[in-house]
Homo-oligomer: A and B are copies of this chain.
Amino acid sequence: MADFNQKIGEALVRLREKRPLVHHITNFVVMNDCANITLHIGGSPVMAHAPEEVEEMVGLADSLVLNIGTLTKELVEAMVLAGRRANEKGIPVLLDPVGAGATAMRTGAAKRLLSEIGVSIIKGNAGEVSVLAGVEAVVRGVDSAGTAGDLPEVAKKLAKDCGCTVVITGATDWVSDGRRTHSVHNGHSMMGTITGTGCMAGSMVGAFAGTVDDPLLAALAGLACFGVAGEMAAAKESLPASFKQALLDGVYALTAEQAAGLARIG
Contact = CB atoms under 8 A, between A and B. Distances in A.
Interface of A: 21, 23, 27-33, 35-36, 39-40, 44-50, 52-53, 56-57, 60-61, 69-73, 99, 102-106, 140-144, 193-196, 239-242, 244-249, 252-253
B32 A141 contact: no
Looking at chain A's contact residues, the main secondary structure is mixed
A80 B143 CA distance: 25
B241 A36 contact: yes
A206 to B, nearest CB: 14
Nearest to A196: B32
A57 B106 CA distance: 10
B252 A248 contact: no
| 9 closest Cβ pairs, A-B complex | A239-B249, A241-B248, A46-B141, A53-B105, A35-B195, A53-B103, A241-B245, A56-B103, A29-B31
Nearest to A248: B241
A249 B245 contact: no
A99 B21 CA distance: 13
B60 A193 contact: no
B195 A57 contact: no
A118 B24 CA distance: 32
A100 to B, nearest CB: 12
A194 B143 contact: no
Contact of A39 (B39, B140, B194): B194
A32 B196 CA distance: 8
Given A193-B39, A241-B36, A47 B60 contact: no
Given A70-B47, A252-B193, A36 B240 contact: yes
A48 B73 CA distance: 12
Nearest to A45: B195
A71 to B, nearest CB: 6
Nearest to A142: B46
Contact of A47 (B69, B73, B106): B69
A241 B250 CA distance: 9
